[in-house]
């Protein structure tokens, strides 16, 4: 019940924020577009309200836990935010009722009631589908948590972070798979899910509900953008279809190979691995699986899409000028009205909104600012864009300085992304191999677009350019998110193209059908792989009623550091404890020095004398050591006899497989240093 109240509070507070600061409601009501504005307004309200309320809850909880040392900081965070929030909204709505006023967020429909009903049915069906697929990938049944094979690797650090809040006291916040240090990975979406579990919503319901609402909200906004840009409702629906099913020639090559081998139908029905011929394409980098394992990406895109909707006003103002060609471009760069502020208040509000998203999904923030930079080139009111960017950067830097002790990112030039051939021709070939006609074909599509549409398309493509030129993390693979961001928005123009060709006679219908197959066939097959690869035979199971989880939760707190094998997702990670070194990829890709800790862990687990165990554990801040029967660490055989002699045994699992030892508090402080 409390969790439902919390989500409702987020939406209603967001409704007030959106109505007063983000949207010009009178302008939206006058807009001559074939769109019911509520499909834009309410998703934006959910995003804005969730950002504000969740950040406020986190800040109060942080003060309660980190400053005043309270054992249950989330109790104070929720109490001091939810109670005033509910009372404040109650007083606001009661005052409006007594005065007979309409609420500020009241929307006016387009007047096309048949269309509104169709849209409502479409989005309701979409929400049901999203809820189903989220639970298909991640659910609890009979006390066992099941996570599909294609997603559990990402859920491992996310669930550990959620549990560090719902079952622990992770203030100041640490990264559970690299405890005892700062937190470099954006975690606020996981905090939201963890807080909802704390408020009484079961973990799978909490995670899946906010994930489905976030993705539904983004898709509603994508639909709204498509209708606004193209003037066609069908383009909105088609954009969502193209969003789910990626473009590539991969399936056709895969089919040809297996037809030649004579096993096509067998492989088609039984294959559970993603197909791909470019680097790491078989990870599922380019298909819908990304939105199933990186749940927080959809929330970030929801916020970005809200900003793009608002700034289309600025871009459309620049397009209304009658100049043509180079003269128009010159006016957009040097004319006074091209720079003068048009609505500084809304620009500041958008910047704050984007900036507050930095620790929800950093890639979405960067991608959104890149698209807005593209919009700014062709828009009036460039100082508004500058104000938005400044506010976003300031809020991002403030969060980064607060949460991260060292540099958050390592900015470097890296040309070519994952293309094996780094030449210009090699990059184009890679794009064609990876996405079929989707990106390369835009050269032809752009010829038939109007000036306004080409301006928008140019902005949408900037994240792709960024992905092929810049590296911010040790793992260049993470740049695929920028391409996915661009891909989601560019679907609008392919949707319009397919619809336009379809309306040009029987030949056009045939051409549009062929184009639609090229744009979706690989994605449709990828989706079938998602279903097969995460069915009941392809899932990781974790006992949610484990005594080990319970003991760790009750015994350890956020100041403790547990040395474990390199665990990914199991009963230990579900306790939310801080691990010295969990599965190394998670921490390494976030920028942590996992090699150092792995070497230290090997020295402790393989030590031949008790003083080495005690002193090195003390030096690294390790308070407990977990030993698993017959374990190895980094392919080195581990010695429990030395650990058992150095540290008292505190816990033995029911099956005797796991034992946990406590590091004595009086270990020598002057142990040797590892780092050369």
pLDDT band, residue 327 (cuts 50/70/90): confident
pLDDT tops 80 at residue 110: no
Distance of CA 302 to the CA centre of its chain: 10
Q: Per-residue confidence at 102, pLDDT binned at 50, 70, 90?
A: low
CA–CA dist 46, 217 (Å, integer): 8
Indicate the average pLDDT of the chain: 92
Q: What pLDDT is stored for residue 667 in this prediction? A: 52
User: Quick one: pLDDT band at residue 671, thresholds 50, 70, 90?
Assistant: very low
Q: What span, in angstroms and rounded, lies between the C-alpha atoms of 285 and 291?
A: 10
Cα–Cα nearest to 301, from 238, 179, 216: 216
Least confidently predicted of 320-329, 342-351, 461-470: 320-329
Model pLDDT for residues 389-406, shown as the tens digit of each residue? 999 999 999 999 999 987
Model pLDDT, residue 517: 97
Sequence-separated contacts (24+) of 345-348 with Cβ below 8 Å: 345/21, 346/21, 346/22, 346/24, 346/310, 346/384, 347/381, 347/384, 347/385, 347/387, 347/388, 347/391, 348/387, 348/388, 348/391
Band of pLDDT at residue 543, cut at 50, 70 and 90: very high
pLDDT digits (tens, 9 = 90+) for 122-155: 999 999 999 999 999 999 999 999 999 999 999 9
Mean pLDDT, residues 43-56 taken together: 97
Residue 669: pLDDT above 50?
Answer: no
516, 264 contact by CB (below 8 A): no
Q: Would strands 562-563 and 624-628 be described as parallel, antiparallel, or unpaired?
A: parallel
pLDDT tens-place string over residues 235-245: 999 999 999 99
Give residue 193's pLDDT.
Answer: 98
Q: How much is the pLDDT for 122?
A: 97
- Given a cut of 70, whether residue 33 has pLDDT beyond it is no
Task: Tell me: pLDDT of 322 over 80.
Answer: no
Contacts of 216 (CB under 8 A, 6+ apart): 43, 123, 126, 127, 130
Q: Is the pLDDT of residue 42 over 60?
A: yes
Read off the pLDDT band of 111 (50, 70, 90). Answer: low
In this predicted structure, what is the pLDDT of residue 207? 98
Summarize pLDDT for 563-612 with one digit per residue, the tens.
Answer: 999 999 999 999 999 999 999 999 998 889 999 999 999 999 999 999 99
Mean pLDDT within 513-541 = 96
Q: pLDDT over 90 for what percent of the chain?
A: 85
Instruction: State the pLDDT at residue 672.
Output: 37
For residue 362, which phi and psi values (nearest 5 degrees)? -65, -35
Higher-confidence position of 188 and 28: 188
For residue 412, list its beta bridge partners. 471
The dihedral sign for the CA sequence 318, 324, 325, 328: negative
Which pLDDT does position 100 carry in this prediction?
76
> What whole-number percentage of the chain has pLDDT above 70?
96
pTM: 0.94
């Amino acid at each position: 019940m409390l969790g439902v109240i919390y989500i409702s509070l987020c939406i209603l507070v967001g409704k007030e924020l959106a109505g007063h600061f983000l949207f010009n409601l009178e302008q939206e009501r006058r807009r001559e577009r074939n769109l019911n504005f509520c499909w834009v307004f309410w998703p934006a309200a959910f995003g804005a309200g969730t950002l504000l309320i969740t950040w406020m809850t986190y800040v109060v909880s942080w003060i309660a836990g980190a400053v005043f040392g309270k054992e249950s900081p989330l109790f104070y965070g929720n109490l001091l935010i939810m109670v005033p929030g509910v009372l404040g909204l109650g007083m606001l709505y009661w005052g409006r009722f007594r005065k007979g006023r309409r609420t500020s967020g009241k929307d006016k429909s387009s007047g096309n009631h048949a269309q509104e009903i169709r849209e409502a049915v479409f989005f309701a069906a979409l929400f049901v589908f999203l809820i189903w697929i989220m639970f298909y990938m991640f659910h609890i049944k009979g006390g066992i948590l099941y996570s599909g094979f294609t997603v559990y690797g990402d859920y491992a650090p996310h669930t550990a972070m959620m549990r560090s809040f719902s079952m622990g006291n992770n203030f100041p916040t640490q990264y559970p798979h690299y405890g005892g240090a700062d937190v470099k990975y954006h975690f606020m979406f996981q905090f939201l899910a963890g807080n909802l579990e704390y408020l009484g919503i079961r973990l799978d319901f909490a995670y899946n509900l906010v994930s489905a609402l976030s993705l539904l909200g983004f898709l509603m906004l994508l639909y709204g953008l498509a209708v606004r840009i193209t003037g066609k409702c069908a383009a909105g629906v088609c954009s969502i279809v193209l969003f789910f099913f990626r473009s590539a020639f991969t399936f056709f090559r895969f089919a040809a190979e297996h037809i030649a081998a004579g096993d096509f139908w067998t492989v088609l029905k039984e294959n559970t691995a993603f197909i791909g011929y470019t680097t790491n394409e078989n990870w599922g980098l380019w298909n819908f699986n990304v939105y199933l394992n990186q749940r927080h990406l959809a929330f970030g895109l929801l916020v970005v899409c809200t900003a793009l909707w608002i700034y289309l006003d600025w871009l459309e103002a620049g397009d209304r000028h009658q100049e043509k060609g180079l003269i128009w471009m010159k006016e957009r760069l040097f004319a006074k009205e091209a720079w003068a502020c048009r609505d500084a208040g809304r620009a500041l509000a958008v910047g704050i909104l984007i900036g507050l998203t930095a620790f929800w999904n950093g890639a979405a923030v960067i991608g959104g600012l890149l698209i807005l930079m593209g919009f700014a080139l062709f828009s009036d009111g460039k100082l508004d864009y500058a104000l938005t960017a400044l506010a976003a950067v300031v809020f991002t830097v403030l969060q980064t300085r607060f949460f991260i002790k060292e540099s958050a990112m390592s900015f470097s030039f890296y040309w070519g992304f994952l293309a094996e051939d780094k030449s210009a021709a090699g990059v184009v070939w890679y794009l064609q191999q990876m996405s079929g006609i989707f990106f390369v074909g835009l050269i032809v599509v752009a010829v038939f677009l109007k000036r306004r549409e080409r301006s928008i398309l140019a902005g949408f493509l900037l994240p792709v350019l960024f992905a092929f030129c810049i590296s911010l993390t040790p793992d260049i693979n993470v740049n695929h998110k920028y391409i996915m961001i661009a891909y989601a928005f560019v679907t609008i123009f392919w949707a319009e193209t397919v619809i336009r060709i379809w309306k040009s006679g029987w030949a056009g219908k045939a051409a549009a059908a062929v184009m639609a197959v090229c744009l979706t066939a690989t994605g449709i097959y990828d989706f079938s792989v998602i279903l097969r690869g995460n069915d009941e035979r392809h899932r990781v199971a974790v006992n949610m009623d484990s005594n080990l989880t319970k003991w760790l939760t009750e015994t350890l707190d956020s100041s403790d550091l547990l040395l474990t094998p390199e665990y990914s997702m199991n009963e230990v990670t579900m306790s939310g404890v801080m691990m010295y070194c969990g599965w190394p990829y998670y921490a390494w890709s976030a920028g942590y020095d996992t090699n150092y800790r792995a070497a230290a862990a090997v020295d402790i687990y393989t030590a031949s004398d008790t003083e080495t165990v005690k002193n090195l554990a003390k030096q690294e801040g390790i308070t407990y050591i977990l030993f698993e029967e017959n374990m190895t660490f980094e392919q080195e055989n581990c010695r429990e006899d030395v650990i058992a002699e150095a540290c008292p045994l505190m816990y033995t699992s029911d099956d005797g497989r796991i034992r946990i030892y406590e590091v004595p508090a009086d270990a020598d402080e002057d142990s040797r240093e590892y780092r050369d």
